[in-house]
Copies of this chain bind each other. A is one copy, B any other.
């Protein structure tokens, strides 16, 4: 069990308050710390203004058990977080000799003495702070005690921030609220919500949250007193209710699941993409260890490349068009021919914004699947996403292609 404690998130950067970048760190940090019993009261973005940031940090540090600050730890003159935290907490800074040693090779690469000084500013640490070592990048994080709890300074780039946050949250383990995360694809958000709510009716002390992205819905269950065993039972009940559309109950992504399930069965995968233009392959290869199952793919954007690379007949392209059942089938067969994979998936569609016709509007996508695992079984599927943007059509088509492979692999 855990109690919820007040937290605040501060994201630093003029690009945020000027609207030049959407802040995704706040949502990420809020989710991550919620698992350790922290409830965010307030999330603030401030520009690269040392006085305003110091004022904000002083206000929040005295009110919240945990303040997480992201951004402003780099080497440039815009990086004001160290100075602001020092002023807000009344703590002087010193140069950390280990960080200086770490930064010296970077200094050596820059001829300009002004650059050297700026780079070494990243070695400045608040008195009494614990240093969070950078796993990527050059900006170190810091944890400092405050009257109300602690403040954690983290770099802004998500790929630097995330591992450091995980490391910093290690200390709160004993208060960790357990969570379960399910992945669902192919269902509308409202249906997922309805199924999850009805499955949870017989459970108590579990908080439900639904997160929807194009083609991918995450169901989050947070332990608010139910206990781990009940949480597992609840996750199981929801997965059962949703059926095959629920692709994972352990937080894995759809691509993770495809690679893991295929690897476990010794099955190989190849892709043949037109409108998704490599996104299916890119999603699969985003998984470390993808080479266990993924052999490769063809991105055949032009008609000529469909013929040359995948042996799609020019007659089929002329008669049925590039976005057709016949061409989807031929693309999957071509992938099979070239990669000899157990499961081959093809995608051909009209992502827009132009290229649609009355017959085949923007959003029309044909998929083909060829599976040697089931005696060369071949299927094609047509989906039409009307009114969606190019970006959403490509994202949904990618998720659908991955899911077709998953279903083929697990035999669902």
Contact = CB atoms under 8 A, between A and B. Distances in A.
A2 interface: no
A300 B157 CA distance: 30
Contact of A23 (B27, B56, B340): B27
A314 interface: no
Given A40-B19, A159-B391, A190-B110, A271 B299 contact: yes
Given A78-B210, A115-B190, A210-B78, A301 B309 contact: no
A346 interface: no
Interface stretch (A272-280, A372-380, A402-410): A272-280
A308 B310 CA distance: 12
Given A26-B16, A189-B76, A299 B277 contact: no
Interface residues of A, number: 104
A74, A277, A387 — most chain B CB neighbours (10 Å): A277
Contacts of A296: 298-302, 305-306, 309
Interface of A: 9, 14-24, 26-32, 34, 39-47, 49, 52, 56, 74-76, 78, 110, 112, 114-115, 118-119, 135-136, 157, 159, 189-190, 193-194, 209-214, 218, 220, 222, 270-271, 273, 275-282, 284-286, 288-291, 294-302, 304-306, 308-309, 338-340, 352-354, 387-392, 394
Given A110-B190, A159-B389, 10 more contacts: A16-B30, A19-B29, A19-B32, A74-B189, A75-B190, A115-B190, A277-B285, A294-B302, A296-B309, A298-B299
